[in-house]
Structure 1
Amino acid sequence: MAAIRAQEHSRPDRLFADPYAQHFLDASGDAIFAAGTQTAASTPELFTLMADQVAVRTRFLDDALTSAARAGTPQTVLLACGMDARAFRLDWPPATALFEVDFADTLAYRAAVLSAHDITATCRRTEVPTDLRENWPTALCAAGFDPNLPTAWLMEGILYALTSHAADLLLERVTANSAPGSTLALDHQEDSALLRSARAALSKELVDIWHGGPSEDLNSWLARYGWQPEVHALEEVTTTHGRPVPPPFDPQRPDTGRSWLAIGRLPS
């Protein structure tokens, strides 16, 4: 994802700016991702297939989170944040409390890279080293999160990698820690033979990453937990931004999956 974000940042028609993504790649020491080495021949097929999906979803989720913050939502939580640089690249209201949740080693790697480049956040940022398979709400609250305040939550690139039970548990925990007026921004996507083949070419470990996520459509799933859903098919959003529909999610092509971008809101 960092590689795709770095690639998007370099485009003259970029949908978002992320000047930090390349720092994470350079620190990895992987020659494939070194600055200036990317060519059409060297770019893995998975990146080519997913580039526009990631670009559009990043812009959609950026807009959802910053809109919530500017409307007065005091807290933002990024679940499984990985190499996410939103705390640094987006224009947050200074009083925003932003919590980044991920494995301790992931957060440590990112912190080392950011520190090496003297990069600081534009909001009140707190790292929460924990495992989403464990009782992460306890760790989040111990870090200063207040479940009695409205929160903007981010679930990016998570749902498809979860079983239906794990997806339900994640949303159940998010909902239990969400005050009225909270917002949930997320994406979801189906698998396909095209994606499986591209993942296998990049790494055998990626082949079985898909577990399907929620067992029902996003509208029904969010509504069942009390969220007012706003769900968009990916092809609608790519058209809005003047990007082509990514082949793995093009409904006009045979044997493809679907992809969605969604916002859920808890009534005030």
Structure 2
Amino acid sequence: MTDLHEVATARTDGDSWDITESVGATALGVAAARAVETAREDALIRDEYAYLLVSAAGPQWAQMASADPEWLADDQEFRRVHETSRDYQAVRTHYFDDFFRAAMRAGIQQAVILAAGLDSRAYRLDWPTGTTVFEIDQPKVLEYKTATLDAHCAEPRARRIPVAVDLREDWPAALIGAGFDPAQPTAWLAEGLLPYLPPDAQDRLFELVTAHSAAGSRIAVESFSMDLSDQAEQDRIARRERTARMRERSGIDIDVDTLTYADADRADAGAWLAEHGWDVDAVPSEVEMTRLGRPAPDYEAEAIASSVLLRAELTEENR
């Protein structure tokens, strides 16, 4: 068995990727879970674009996004893991959809989705007239999404502006150059992003977001903690063994542990924001999953317990 900290990283400084490579492939996996959820009669969210975005990457991806579970055959463990991933992504998406709806009701007309991946909110949420949605991500990822949705004649419901820039570069300059107004309140989203940044890059991201946020701005974040206990390490080892079997079964090589930065000294996102003037409201993901009728199973308890969903607002008095 291998300690998580001994897992070789696939990341390098300045690395980039296409949609089926490295971090890009994780965007496909997340969108596949949204597609499967959308096909449920009791779906928590509806993303009619998810299957289009995933299936365009090839037949193996289309299979993963399919509502037909036959490809899982009789592998009950794989089926359970697949269902848990679907439930978690559905709850996470539901939480952040509600965040944007609340921001709209508050009159915010400028949204920035950091590391947007295959996020389709610009197309599927009912944005008020005059809203602009900026999507920041790697050039090839944005090109793939735009081309795929254009091919299906999809029309965004807000003014959508892709900003092709790496978050490790001077993304605020690129964002402002694309028309972003830091003097106006903004709704920021960091969903499925932080583990793919080193700790210092996470701090820098929050510093730049705060510096470019007017009073009344809001941010929503998916935050993770690193439990270094022996039991947590055994749980991670078991999870790696399960995901290895999943890769073999699906034919898709996504190994998240080699793409993320498992650093114990990473700042707690909620604490960092609170210390820098943001009023924070947070909920553990497992609590939100239970509230929405999708409780996390025991065998995924460690992974899900490390996740927290939070919203924060930068008030006039703190700005």
Q: Deviations over 1:52-86 (max 9, x none)?
A: 11110100001001210221012000011111100
Matched, 1:244 2:295: yes
Deviation readout 1:82-115 (Å, 9 max, x if unpaired): 1110001111112111101111111111111111
Spell out the pairing of 1:177-196 with structure 2 (5 A cutoff). 177-190=212-225, 192-196=236-240
1:259 aligns with 307
Q: What code does the residue aligned with 1:196 have?
A: R
Question: 1-side partners of 2:278 and 2:164: how far apart?
Answer: 27
Amino acid paired to 2:274: A
Q: In structure 2, how many angstroms separate the alpha carbons of the residues matched to 1:76 and 1:101? A: 11
In 2, Cα distance between equivalents of 1:183 and 1:198: 37
Cα distance change on mapping 1:208 and 1:139 into 2, 3 Å? same
TM-align CA RMSD: 2.3
Deviates more, 1:131-140 or 1:49-58: 49-58
* 1:9 and 2:23 are equivalent in the alignment: no
Distance 1:167 1:228, change over 3 A: same
Question: Aligned with 1:120: secondary structure?
Answer: coil
Please point out which of 172, 176, 200 is paired with 2:211: 176
Percent sequence identity over aligned pairs: 38
Aligned to 2:49: 20
One-letter code of the match for 1:22?
Y
CA deviations 1:178-237 (Å, max 9, x no partner) are 111000011123463344334444336433223147724333121122211111011211
Instruction: Say if 2:103 and 2:218, in contact at 8 Å, map to a contact too.
Output: yes
Contact 1:78 1:154 in 2 (8 A): yes
Report which of the two has the higher share of helix. Answer: 2
* TM-score, structure 2 as length reference: 0.77
The question of whether the paired residues in 1 share the 8 Å contact of 2:197 and 2:260 is answered with yes
- In structure 2, the partner of 1:87 is 122
Amino acid of the structure 2 residue aligned with 1:197: E
Distance change in 2, residues 1:81/1:256 (3 Å): closer
Residue 24 of structure 1 deviates from its aligned partner by 1.1
1:226 & 1:234 partners in 2: Cα distance? 24
The aligned counterpart of 1:74 is 109
Is the 1:31–1:37 Cα contact (8 Å) retained in structure 2? no
Matched, 1:220 2:255: no
Unaligned runs of 5+ in 1: none
Normalising by structure 1, we get a TM-score of 0.90
CA distances 1:120-140 after superposition (whole Å, capped 9, x unpaired): 011111111110010000000
Partners in 2 of 1:75 and 1:56 — Cα distance? 24
Find the counterpart in structure 1 of residue 258 from structure 2: 208
- Picking from 107, 119, 131, the partner of 2:154 is 119
Distance 1:26 1:233, change over 3 A: same
Equivalent-residue separation in structure 1 for 2:126 and 2:102 (angstroms): 11
**Distance in 2, Cα, partners of 1:104 & 1:32:** 21
Is the Cα–Cα contact under 8 Å of residues 39 and 67 in structure 2 kept in the other structure? no
Task: Give the AA of the match of 2:308.
Answer: W
Count of aligned pairs: 265
After TM superposition, list the pairs within 5 Å mapping 1:50-69 onto structure 2. 50-69=85-104
Check the 8 A contact 1:160/1:190 in 2, yes or no.
Answer: no
Unaligned runs of 5+ in 2: 1-29, 227-235, 248-252
Counterpart secondary structure, 2:283: strand
Structure 2 residue corresponding to 1:143, chosen from 178, 196, 211: 178
1:210 is paired with a residue of what secondary structure?
A: coil
Q: Which residue in 1 is equivalent to 2:12?
A: none
Shift of residue 240, structure 1, vs aligned partner: 1.4
Q: How far is the alpha carbon of 1:16 from its aligned partner?
A: 0.7
**Larger Rg computed on CA atoms:** 2
1:30, CA displacement in angstroms? 2.8
Between stretches 199-208 and 13-22, larger displacement belongs to 199-208
